Amino acid sequence: MPIRRVFLRTLGCPKNEVDGGVLARHLAKMGFIFVNSPEQADIEIVNTCGFIEPSKVESLDAIWEAVERKQAAGEGKRQLIVTGCLAQRYGQQLKNEITEIDAIVGFDRPDLVLKAIDASHTGAPACWVEKPGRVYRDDAMSLWPADQKAPLSAYVKVADGCDNGCRYCAIPLIRGKLRSRSLTSIVGEIESLVSAGTREVILVAQDTTSWGIDRADGSDLAKLLGEIDRIPEEFWVRVMYAHPAFLTDQQIEVMAGSRHIVPYLDMPLQHATDHMLRIMNRGVTRAQTQSRIDTLRRARPGMALRTTFIVGHPGETEADFEELLAFAEENTFERMGVFTYSKEEGTPSALLPGEVPVELALERQARLTEAFDQWSADASVDLIGKIIPCVLESGSHDRWEGRSVYDAPEIDGQVTVMGIVDEPGIHPVLIENASGVDLTGRRVDYSVRPDRVATITEPRGAF
């Protein structure tokens, strides 16, 4: 068999990145060679996102760029496979409108991608999209290959799909109902990653707090986190996408007492007024949301809370926005993202009256973002002179780039570190300057000036 060189481009969220990684390892196991640029490839795979309109546009742009490369190579020289969420939701439309695609495959199906590559393609693209229904990666593919070094920071997807029914969200239309992996599968994957070099495990799902409720065997996130904490090696666990309606006192208690879980939680709130939370069908009130925030901060002082808000959703009044702004300022979240509402076909919100003009939504986004920038800058300045653990991912000799314990990849701040660092990993860093949420500092011995070590040097055992 001739050498088949693959270029894989993955777009979208960390959950899609996990799917892309699974696909890459599956194809590598089957003898495919991965290359770093599309020009070197015989097979180009675009792993698309289709969550909101901007991500659809980005995915379509990537597909058309791949089409141009295929056409330039000449007839029969290249294959183009489109997979991921856009393929899952709009497979038939892609088949009808972009005939240069060889095959269209839904998400999380590396076996079908292989089948599509091996198939003989003539005429219209083959469409290999199936209705979501499998339990995600609940098999031997969850284990990291023993002969390969794992990434320093790795996402572990604990479930797929969602049953929450938020009215603005298209995820259930794309990924189907909640399907949780088994506890043994998740713990086994983490053990294999840590043994192969991973030092930060990031748990993701559409809603991590709902993990296990579909399994009818007593599984829940608190139990999962407790089992992960039994793994003896030193590594971080970062929990993303916790829904406030399903975050329990028991889950918070485990997070507060864990030696692995970092003092950081991503909890997308989306809004703060009872009026908008009801319209969005978030299943929680403002008072209940505040209670969760207060409980988290009491249980683990110094915890960094990340959240996201949506402005401009149908029905949002100026009073709603002002209350949201006041709520955000009262709670001074350490990390925050603000998005304007995206009207997605097939969702209940798309049919609601009371549309907010785009210009007004953008103005509200700018006002809330500006407020966050002010208080987050003050919080970053407070870190100057303190030693905090940072995961240093890339660099050479005496200059490294990474993230603090309070920052998730890509969405949060960065740390630039001066000083000799022998290898990537988790290191103590003395913070010397701050700009917004970005920090600069130098690597120090943890034993130096213990009186200046911040209480936020948790999680315990990080060094």
Specify whether 167 is located in the same domain as 196: yes
Any domain includes 322: yes
Q: With beta carbons less than 8 A apart as the criterion, state whether 82 and 46 touch.
A: yes
Specify whether 315 is located in the same domain as 286: yes
Contacts of 198 (CB under 8 A, 6+ apart): 144, 150, 151, 152, 153, 154, 235
Any domain includes 297: yes
Specify whether 372 is located in the same domain as 392: no
pLDDT of residue 462 exceeding 70: no
Element (H, E) at 278: helix 274-280
CATH code: domain of residue 352: 3.80.30.20
Domain C-terminal end among 102, 128, 154:
128
Please state, in angstroms and rounded to a whole number, the distance separating the CA atoms of residues 326 and 332: 10
Structure tokens at 83: 């997979």
Any domain includes 133: no
Any domain includes 135: no
Specify whether 309 is located in the same domain as 449: no
Contacts of 303 (CB under 8 A, 6+ apart): 263, 264, 265, 296, 297
Specify whether 163 is located in the same domain as 17: no
Specify whether 111 is located in the same domain as 28: yes
pLDDT of residue 448 exceeding 60: no
Specify whether 395 is located in the same domain as 283: no
Q: In whole angstroms, how large is the CA radius of gyration of the chain?
A: 23
Specify whether 158 is located in the same domain as 250: yes
pLDDT digits over 127-176, tens only?
Answer: 888 777 666 555 555 678 777 889 999 999 999 999 999 999 999 999 99
Please state, in angstroms and rounded to a whole number, the distance separating the CA atoms of residues 281 and 270: 11
Domain C-terminal end among 377, 395, 418:
377
For the chain, how many structural domains are there in total? 3
> Which pLDDT belongs to residue 402?
94
Any domain includes 382: no
pLDDT digits over 52-62, tens only?
Answer: 888 999 999 99
200-204: strand order across its sheet: 153-157, 200-204, 236-239, 261-266, 304-311, 335-340
Which among 189, 191, 185 is positioned nearest to 233, based on CA atoms?
Answer: 191
Mean pLDDT of the chain: 89
Any domain includes 134: no
Q: Confidence band (pLDDT; 50, 70, 90) for 447? A: low
Specify whether 190 is located in the same domain as 332: yes
Residue 341: alpha-carbon gap to chain centroid: 19
Note the pTM of the prediction, 2 decimals. Answer: 0.90
Residues 107-122: b if buried by 16+ CB within 10 A, e if exposed: bbbbebbbebbeeebe
Domain C-terminal end among 377, 400, 430:
377
CATH code: domain of residue 18: 3.40.50.12160
Specify whether 258 is located in the same domain as 298: yes
> Which pLDDT belongs to residue 196?
93
Specify whether 367 is located in the same domain as 246: yes
Least confident range of 75-84, 324-333, 387-396, 450-459 = 450-459
> Which pLDDT belongs to residue 452?
43
Any domain includes 32: yes
Specify whether 81 is located in the same domain as 150: no
What is the extent of the structural domain holding 410?
387-457
Any domain includes 109: yes
Q: With beta carbons less than 8 A apart as the criterion, state whether 315 and 275 touch.
A: yes
Q: With beta carbons less than 8 A apart as the criterion, state whether 264 and 406 touch.
A: yes
Which among 115, 153, 91, 110 is positioned nearest to 8, based on CA atoms?
Answer: 110
Q: Which residue has the higher pLDDT, 292 or 114?
A: 292
Q: With beta carbons less than 8 A apart as the criterion, state whether 403 and 391 touch.
A: yes
CATH code: domain of residue 437: 2.40.50.140
